[in-house]
Amino acid sequence: MLRCINGRIARRFLSTSSPKDPIVSVNEAFLADPFPHKINLGIGTYRGDDGKPFVPQSVRDAETKIQRCKLEHFYPDSQMYLPDPTWSNHHNIWRQAEIPVKTFHYYHPDTKGLDFAALLNDVKNRQYALSFIGCFLSCLSDKSNTLYYHECTRLFFLLHPCAHNPTGVDPSEEKWREISLQFKAKNHFPFFDMAYQGFSSGDLDKDVIALRIFLEDGHLIGCAQSFAKNMGLSEHKAGCLSVLCQSIKRVAALKSQLQLMSHAMYSSIPFQGISLVKQLEKLFHIYMTPDGRMSMSGVTSSNVDYLANAIHQVTRIDEEALRSC
């Protein structure tokens, strides 16, 4: 969702409490429960018998091999351009994905402002290279085979649309328009990381002027938007990913891929429904989300017998007992 809410609606959002994340709520209830044999089936992380997170070495090795195969064999020249400086975790994200990171000029330490001339020079003169990101994003547009390679040579730039982290320095509206025109001329792909909407100008609507300019100029864009700061929901990691595609066909393709990813979380809901969940929590101190999603990573050799007995007991409870819960 790229369309922004107006001031009146924003005030309503800021004055209304947001419902808690169901998984976080389950974890909070689990932590507050003093029962010694309690079980947490809400958090989807593998844990050993000591209750501490555990990642099998085979998983680590497989992840490394797959990433290296994709990037080194098929797309050896993949690269990502980040502003200098940027949020430190941006480097960590791409480093973990084993995608080489390059930077473009942004901040001038002497003037403590935007190094606009150097920024534009980098945008104009960065050389094309076969890009994994560009090839992936080519699926967002309907291009002929002749133009497919042109899509694959698009460079990928990460931009902060407002409240640049860590400098707080943002381009003016006029400078954003010039940046957009140069991106268009060079066929670069802009990906926006918007974590502080409303923190730059104090207005949620004004802080998205950069996105509006790029959209008006006909760019296909991506935007990772976080509401953790402006809604005071840091612990919930609330946010969304928005991508503008060129056609309904591409929207359907991308949507189906995202749905496939999310569907894996909800494909094994117990048929007993929320009553079963309530009984497991109330009688046996076993915690899971209200929709019945059970994270098997919370099952260990030390609690599996207790869990199996609890499920057996709950499924034997008569309907009247369930209704009274």
pLDDT for 320: 52
**Mean pLDDT, residues 167-185:** 96
Helices of type H across 264-318: 274-284, 304-316
**Mean pLDDT, residues 232-257:** 77
Q: Does 213 lie in the same domain as 72?
A: yes
- Supply the pTM of this predicted model: 0.54
Helices of type H across the chain: 7-15, 22-32, 57-68, 88-96, 116-125, 132-137, 145-152, 173-186, 209-216, 248-263, 274-284, 304-316, 319-324
β-pairing, 107-108 vs 113-114, is antiparallel
In the three-class reduction of DSSP (H, G, I as helix; E, B as strand; rest coil), residue 193 is classed as strand
CATH of the domain at 214: 3.40.640.10
In-domain check, residue 87: yes
Q: Angle CA(159)–CA(164)–CA(169) in degrees, nearest 5?
A: 115
CATH of the domain at 313: 3.90.1150.10
In the three-class reduction of DSSP (H, G, I as helix; E, B as strand; rest coil), residue 265 is classed as coil
Q: Does 240 lie in the same domain as 131?
A: yes
Phi/psi of residue 194, nearest 5 degrees = -110, 95
Phi/psi of residue 179, nearest 5 degrees = -60, -45
264 or 171, higher pLDDT: 171
| Rg of the chain (C-alpha set) | 24
In-domain check, residue 6: no
pLDDT for 84: 94
Judged on CB neighbours under 10 Å (0-12, 13-18, 19+), 65 is exposed
Q: Does 211 lie in the same domain as 80?
A: yes
β-pairing, 189-194 vs 156-159, is parallel
Domain boundary among 222, 241, 263: 263
Q: Does 199 lie in the same domain as 148?
A: yes
Residue 235 clears pLDDT 70, i.e. is over it: no
Q: Does 314 lie in the same domain as 233?
A: no
In the chain, how many domains are there? 2
**Residues of the domain holding 31:** 20-54+269-324
Residue 85 clears pLDDT 50, i.e. is over it: yes
Residues 139-153: tens digit of each pLDDT: 444 444 433 344 455
pLDDT for 269: 42
Q: What letter would DSSP give residue 73? A: I
Among 11-25, 33-47, 261-275, 306-320, which is the least confidently predicted range? 261-275
Distance, CA of 2 to CA of 215 (rounded, Å): 10
In-domain check, residue 14: no
Q: Does 99 lie in the same domain as 236?
A: yes
